[in-house]
Amino acid sequence: GRENAPDAQKLILRLAGFLRGVVNRDKEEVTVREEKEYIDNYLAIEKVRFQDRLAVEWKIDADEDFYQRTVPILVLQPIVENAVQHGIAKSENGGKVRIILTEDGQDTKIEVSDNGVGMTPETLKKVMAKGRRASDGKSGIGLSNIHERLIRMYGPEYGLKIDSEPGRGTTVMVRVPFHGPKSEKEPYGILSKKN
């Protein structure tokens, strides 16, 4: 009845915000602030479905300038979505997703962990198999796809690191260079290499 109207209204606003974020995904990078807002909208929609079974914790360990740093699009949100869909959704009691962003020298360090069902080493190997489509045929961006794209953008030291254990959950770690993607003219890290 009417008592649900404010909730429905809030949800519609979140959905509109999320879709606006989807439409604006034609850039290579977005600010940490934009990506957080986009993910918050996504999670608000998921919370309607999961209700008390989904808890979320953000930890952004940095100053105000950090929110202006850029991160590549379609990296953080699909990792969070993976944690929700495969970690939490499959766990009877639901669980918690933690999203931690920190400065790591010249890099932005991102960690997404869940205390959901976790994966065996074999499953993890399958998930990360090169060129693998998102699992169970649903559209979406698989972790292997993100891993390959990060390496293409920034070099071999910038892929995903995944730590998972059945019954304990999964942690996905990513580092993104503060400079953003390397351009053809000036490859990232040119100063650090000795000729």
Task: At 62, list the tokens.
Answer: 């940095």
Q: What pLDDT, on a 0 to 100 scale, did the predictor assign at position 83?
A: 94
Q: What pLDDT, on a 0 to 100 scale, did the predictor assign at position 147?
A: 93
Residue with the larger pLDDT of the pair 55 and 2: 55
Residue 123: which region, alpha, beta or left (left: phi > 0; alpha: psi -120 to 50)?
alpha
Over residues 99-109, mean pLDDT: 91
Which of 93-97, 130-134, 188-192 comes out lowest in average pLDDT?
A: 188-192
Q: What pLDDT, on a 0 to 100 scale, did the predictor assign at position 187?
A: 44
Q: What pLDDT, on a 0 to 100 scale, did the predictor assign at position 21?
A: 64
pLDDT tens-digit readout, 114-157: 999 999 999 999 888 876 665 554 445 789 999 999 999 999 98
List 162's β-bridge partners, or say none. Answer: 172
Torsion, Cα of 137, 140, 141, 144 (10° steps): -20
pLDDT tens-digit readout, 166-188: 999 999 999 999 754 444 434 44
Residue with the larger pLDDT of the pair 44 and 1: 44
**What does the mean pLDDT of the chain come to?**
82
Domains of the chain: 2-177 (3.30.565.10)
Residue with the larger pLDDT of the pair 13 and 2: 13
SS3 letters across the chain: CHHHHHHHHHHHHHHHHHHHHHHCCCCCEEEHHHHHHHHHHHHHHHHHHHHHHEEEEEEEECCHHHHHCEEECCCHHHHHHHHHHHHHCCCCCCEEEEEEEEEECCEEEEEEEECCCCCCHHHHHHHCCCCCCCHHHCCCCCHHHHHHHHHHHHCHHHCCEEEEECCCEEEEEEEEECCCCCCCCCCCCCCCCCC
Q: What pLDDT, on a 0 to 100 scale, did the predictor assign at position 188?
A: 45
Residue with the larger pLDDT of the pair 126 and 27: 126
pLDDT tens-digit readout, 41-50: 899 889 888 8
19 pLDDT above the threshold of 70: yes
- pTM of this prediction? 0.79
